[in-house]
Amino acid sequence: MQTKKRQDVAIEDRWNVEALFPSFDDWKKEFGTTKVNGEGPTWPELLAFKGKLGENAETLKKALNLSFSTYRNLSKFYTYAHLRHDEDIAYDPHKAAYNHAVAAFHEFNQETSWMEPELMSLSDDKVKEYLSSPILEDYRFHLEKVFRLRKHTLSPDNERLVALAGKALMTPYKAFSAINDADFKFGSVRDSKGKARPLTHALYSLYLHEKDRTLRENAFKSLHGRYCEYENTLCELLNGQVQSHVFNARARNYSSSLEAALYPKNIETSVYHALIDAVSASIDALHRYTRLRKKLLGVEELHLYDMYVPLIPNVDIKMSYEEAEEAVIESVAPLGAEYQNTLKRGLAEHRWVDRFENENKRSGAYSSGCYDSMPYILMNYKGLLRDVFTLAHEAGHSMHSFLSHKNQPFHYSDYPIFVAEVASTFNEELLHNLLLKRFEKKEERAYLINQKIEDLRATLFRQTMFAEFELMIHDMTEKNVPLTPSALKVEYRKLNRKYFGEAVVIDAEIDNEWSRIPHFYYDFYVYQYATGISAAMSLSERVLSGGEQEREEYLSFLKGGCSQFPIDLLKQAGVDMRSPEPVKATIKKFSELVDQLEKEC
């Protein structure tokens, strides 16, 4: 249970960052050629195009080529720096490198902030000429997206001011990350035998799955108690982040922060509201599950720290990392040999994954990388079944990135956030199907069914609750209602009561959970977990019950990057997210699984 220092982690358990730069010194040497000092333009060759974008298609293409190639190069520097930073966020040299890379991005944004306003100022005839020009064929959809934002683009001077503000507006998130991932120490908690157990972010998740109820309760109260001690500071940080979203929305003449977050992706705000409405209308399905959970656990009171412990006694499926890797690779066979072999090489040979927790390592899990790198997966693997699914989830992201980067030019290679969670949850569904075939005993199957129910609860219901809270705090700020700790605690408790129902005791400590959720700093991101799992459930059923065409349509979606609007990419793959039907179908699936679990038990 002891957490290793970074230098003690075995090479085979670390991601292969050396594939980007052989050493930190090599990174510093190459990055040093980017003179970000605020004493003149860092990229004068870009500034040379200012005032010339309307000359002709050839000039515009040269400017776009240079802009994207510069950004591409910066992405490589940033990727290395942020990966090194996340290995040990308390290590000052890597922290400084990360801050320098972030500063370079801000400098780039400032020095190119004139480009889109200048494009917006072009006459309608010039816009039509450029959109129909064969010279600009490779950039047509990019230009369509830019011209679509004309009414929300400011003058060149004002765009520069907004770009200058960008670095300062990152402060709330960076401060939250620092206090959450580095400064907070949770000490230890006692289990039912009185033994002291160390408490970290990763171990907290582990303890909530333990059968030892005393340990679960103590971990739950201790971790949230730490956040309660700093509720005023954490409230101000969250308020600062929301204020930055409101600033950007109002500066760009959007009706709300929600519209500002969704409009550039061509997603109507009605999609967001429809998700909350659909889940709220069927919340009884979740309440029925909490009543069943209380019954199966045989407790007089069902507390929030009882919501993650497996319901099936004497079954606790755990896997070593190597076993998890093998299962994830086998599970993707329905996507074809090429997909499967690529993933196998990435996980087993190329060291895509940083596997285990070490001291001061960033908590959680993610998939990262850039156009010129392999995908990189951060894990804090503990051997739980949940960790196996997390590996499948992040591998789905990584393969999405790999295929997008391989099949699209740089400027279309990053898939939109709205579809980001589709490939990841799709792969979780494939893993679930594999494990149901591997484990044939009634108790094991019930355990896996319960796991799937928990996935849907955590991804569809919990993330929608987060989305509702996020919408609420932005609405409050836009109406000049102060965000105070007491107000946030009251509203967060109401949401927990709404979602968990009367069968669950809403413990006082949960009132402060809002203060530890990093996704509330991400500008309307969490709802996409819920829409993503709904799309993934529909697409996985379509692929598994279909043939070659259905599989190829799904793979074409993975290869599409941002070459189309996200709603259109999904529709071509076979699911229409403008309709509430995928969400309703996922809730129906959840209810069917609850029925199945009740029969099995």
Assigned token pair, 7: 């230098």
Residue type, 568: D
SS3 7: helix
CA-angle at 425, arms to 419 and 426, nearest 5°? 90
* Three state DSSP letters for 378-417: ECCCCCEHHHHHHHHHHHHHHHHHHHHHHHCCHHHCCCCH
Q: Classify residue 544 by its DSSP letter.
A: H
Query: Is the distance from CB of 53 to CB of 119 less than 8 angstroms?
Result: yes
Distance of alpha carbon 149 from the chain centroid: 25
Q: What are phi and psi of 551, to 5 degrees?
A: -65, -45
Three-state DSSP state, 241? helix
Q: What is the C-alpha separation between 244 and 247, in angstroms, rounded?
A: 5
Instruction: Tell me how crowded residue 333 is: count the other CB atoms within 10 A of its CB.
Output: 12
What is the maximum span of the chain, computed from C-alpha positions, in angstroms? 78
CA 236 vs CA 175, 394, 512: distances in Å: 11, 32, 14
Active site residues: 394
The two beta strands, 196-198 and 353-354, are unpaired
Q: What is the DSSP secondary-structure string of 99-165? A: HHHHHHHHHHHHHTTTHHHHHHTS-HHHHHHHHT-GGGGGGHHHHHHHHHTGGG---HHHHHHHHHH
- The runs of H, that is alpha helices, within 559-601 are 566-573, 581-600
Are 4 and 358 a contacting pair, CB within 8 Å?
A: yes
Ramachandran category for residue 336: left, alpha or beta (phi over 0 → left; psi -120 to 50 → alpha): left
The H or E element spanning position 377 is strand 376-378
Burial of 314 (0-12, 13-18, 19+ CB in 10 A): exposed
